[in-house]
Amino acid sequence: MNYRKEYLETFLKNQGQLFDEPVAENLEEADEFLDECMAVVLNNMREVKNYFKENGTDTSGMTDDELKAEAEVFSLPDGKFLIVEG
């Protein structure tokens, strides 16, 4: 597994925020899916903002709460963030 178990569990539980249909049914499928779509784990909101900025998304004027509410952003149990491009 490339991603920590709790990250995979968080993605499995919350994948509906980004996808209409489940893309993974278990931890192994979740790990493979996240690896294929090159999902990233970021340490804090500053890194989340930088990630979106580097990928051409204008986040100026967006609050941290608004960024956290984006479908691609999954808040992880340890305070980090998983970014999954849909």
pLDDT at position 15: 98
User: Which residues, other chains included, contact 52 with Cβ-Cβ below 8 Å and sequence gap of 6+?
Assistant: 59, 67
User: Where do the structural domains in the chain lie, given as residue ranges?
Assistant: 5-83
Q: What is the pLDDT of residues 26-61, one digit of tens each?
A: 999 999 999 999 999 999 999 999 999 999 999 889
pLDDT at position 83: 98
To the nearest whole number, what is the mean pLDDT of the chain?
A: 95
What band does 10 get if pLDDT is binned at 50, 70 and 90? very high
Taking residue 78's Cβ as centre, other Cβ atoms within 10 Å add up to 11
